[in-house]
Amino acid sequence: MFETDTITAISTPIGEGAISIVRLSGPDAIEITSKIYKGKDLHEVDSHTIHYGKIIDPETNDVAEEVMVTIMRGPKTFTREDVVEINCHGGLVSVKRVLEIVLSQGARLAEPGEFTKRAFLNGRIDLSQAEAVMDLIRAKTDKAMNIALKQMDGRLSSLIKRYRQSLLETVAHVEVNIDYPEYDDVEEMSHEMMKEKTKEVHAEIEELLRVAKQGKILREGIATAIIGRPNVGKSSLLNALVQENKAIVTDIPGTTRDIIEEYVNVRGIPLRLIDTAGIRETEDIVERIGVERSRQALKEADLILFVLNYNEELSEEDLRLFEVIKGLEYIVIINKTDLTQKLDIEKVKELVEDKRIVSTSLLKEEGIDELESAIADSFFAGEIDSGDLTYVSNARHIQLLRQAMQALEDAMASLEMGMPLDIVQIDVTRTWEFLGEIIGDTASDSLIDQLFSQFCLGK
Ligand code: GDP
Ligand code: ZN
């Protein structure tokens, strides 16, 4: 055990749900709770049992709150320490009061992420699992949640461990050859064998990084811009998407930049609707700021929904917008198909090249399904199923995987140049270290502190 004091925090999102939990972890968790709890003798109860009782304010002897108390003795707990969870069913005021009472009895307010940090330090979870807990707290969609859960399961960890083992064996093999050249029965590690090993691990990391891109989209949402001339139906489209798909994000304290209304969930894919420097409500802004600047403004979008009016001829402004989005990822929506046709569809088809065109009547709620399919198709082949894929969705992991891959490429280049193996293995060892940082094996203390300080309070 690394820590000796007892920490506490409210471990449910403030103001959400009917139940709020004050969690304690540490050697005095049960003792502290006993002092303020009226009910069974908590020292006597079995581990992992839950008990009804009352929290008493020791200063006034008043009943502060009716509670259910869960007693969990270490090491079979999340932190491997004794853990108590006080379930309060009252609102924010009462849960805060319970927390204050717990603090007055000698528990210390947990730092952000400190529960998870203890779990890590006490060997309950590895670093990538700890980070998954953090991602879980921030997960915006069910899919993202699944990825985080899988990572917590240790899937990524076990892959990383396998790569490291393979590299370690290679390095060890070279060492034996160098230290004991007289051992004839140890097969000499040849350049060919080394090449094979590095290539193998390189390919695996490459694949992880490839799916990481999808993971990022799932986590952060597809930055989507709706553009088009005034009055074509942009706001109607936004409303249709929001109505059909409930907003995803729950407001979690500690996450800052997310605004609930900005996200809609289309077939499990989060769209983050962005307003790109006024391009959304054009008023022919393109003419004002120019094609190139409009293009720059739209570049932050992963997907552009470009709305045209079926009931009007193509205008100069439409043509300028086509010019602006050329080469970017977009879908053309021909709206107001309930009205008479004035739009030259053949001309539109020429302009869009290989991109999708969807017809809608937002007024009559027609074509929205097709639009959603088109959106899903443009990023994944149909409805996505994160099923068997192990996504790497954490920025730090991606960075380390890239560094590991670079080090491997250095090793491979040295091999090509016919460098001695004991030189090549320096890069192989670096790869092994980068991979180790992902699961916290070679991570320095300061790195660990920095990571855990990002956690929400109470987790
Ligand atoms: P925006 O200026 O591009 O945001 O366009 P709005 O969404 O505000 O729509 C402009 C007008 O067109 C509103 O009066 C809408 O009710 C109407 N509108 C939107 N979609 C349709 C449609 O499919 N058919 C018809 N007939 N009217 C529509
Ligand atoms: Zn509008």
367 lines ligand 1 (CB under 6 A): no
Return the pLDDT at 366.
Answer: 94
Question: What CATH number does the domain containing 372 carry?
Answer: 3.40.50.300
The pTM for the full model equals: 0.48
84-88, 389-393, 416-420, 454-458: segment of lowest average pLDDT = 454-458
CATH number at residue 11: 3.30.1360.120
pLDDT at 385: 45
Q: Is the distance from CB of 86 to CB of 36 less than 8 angstroms?
A: no
Task: For residue 271, give Cα distances in angstroms to 330, 335, 372.
Answer: 14, 20, 11
Confidence class for position 59, pLDDT limits 50, 70, 90: confident
**pLDDT of 308 above 90:** yes
450 part of a folded domain: no
308 and 187 in a common domain: no
Q: Tell me whether residue 106 is in a domain.
A: yes
Do the annotations mark residue 67 as ligand-binding? no
What's the number of domains the chain is made of?
Answer: 3
Residue 41 lies in a domain: yes
Average pLDDT value for residue range 225-252: 68
State how beta strands 37-38 and 49-56 pair.
Answer: antiparallel
Check whether residue 209 and residue 240 sit in a common domain. no
Check whether residue 234 and residue 375 sit in a common domain.
yes
Say whether both 285 and 202 belong to one domain: no
Q: Are residues 168 and 74 in the same domain?
A: no
Q: What is the mean pLDDT of residues 223-244?
A: 80
Mean pLDDT in residue range 50-71 = 89
Q: Is the per-residue pLDDT at 160 higher than 80?
A: yes
Please report, rounded to a whole number, the percentage of residues in the chain having pLDDT higher than 90.
29
- What is the pLDDT, as a whole number, of residue 282? 47
In this structure, is residue 68 part of a structural domain?
yes
What is the CATH number for 174?
1.20.120.430
Residue with CA at minimum distance from ligand 1 atom 26: 336
Q: Determine the structural domain holding residue 433 and report its residue range.
A: 142-215+394-440
The answer to the question of residue 155 being in a domain is yes
How are beta strands 37-38 and 83-88 bridged, if at all? unpaired
Q: What percent of the chain has pLDDT over 70?
A: 70
pLDDT value of residue 254: 33
pLDDT at 91: 66
pLDDT tens-place string over residues 93-148: 778 889 889 999 999 988 777 888 888 778 777 777 777 776 666 665 666 666 66
The larger pLDDT score, comparing residue 296 to residue 335, is at: 335
Q: How far, CA to CA in Å, does 229 sit from each of 269, 287, 335, 433, 458?
A: 27, 12, 12, 54, 48
- The answer to whether residues 203 and 233 belong to one domain is no
**CB 436 less than 6 A from any atom of ligand 1:** no
Residues 372 and 407 in one domain: no
Is position 389 within any domain? no
**Do 262 and 293 share a domain, yes or no?**
yes
114 and 152 housed in the same domain: no
The predicted pLDDT at position 243 comes to 66
Digit-coded pLDDT (tens) for 411-442: 999 999 989 888 898 899 899 989 988 888 76
Over 90: is that where the pLDDT of 43 sits?
yes
Side chain identity, residue 393: S
**Whether residues 192 and 295 fall in one domain:** no
Same domain, 425 and 328: no
Q: Which ligand is nearest to the CA of 283?
A: 1
Banded model confidence at residue 286, pLDDT cuts 50, 70, 90: low
| Confidence (pLDDT) at 60 | 86
Same domain, 266 and 340: yes
Alpha-carbon gap, residue 354 to 367, rounded angstroms? 20
Q: For 252-258, what is the mean pLDDT?
A: 32
- Distance from Cα 363 to the centre of ligand 1, integer Å: 7
Compute the distance between CA of residue 302 and CA of residue 152 in angstroms, rounded to an integer: 28
Kindly state whether residue 132 falls inside one of the protein's structural domains.
Answer: no
Name the pLDDT band for 85 (thresholds 50, 70, 90). very high
Residue 451 within any structural domain of the chain: no
Spatial CA neighbour of 361 closest among 336, 339, 340? 336
Q: What is the mean pLDDT of residues 334-363?
A: 94
Residue among 226, 232, 234, 236 to mutate when testing ligand 1 (max atoms within 8 A of CB): 236
Average pLDDT over residues 1-5: 64
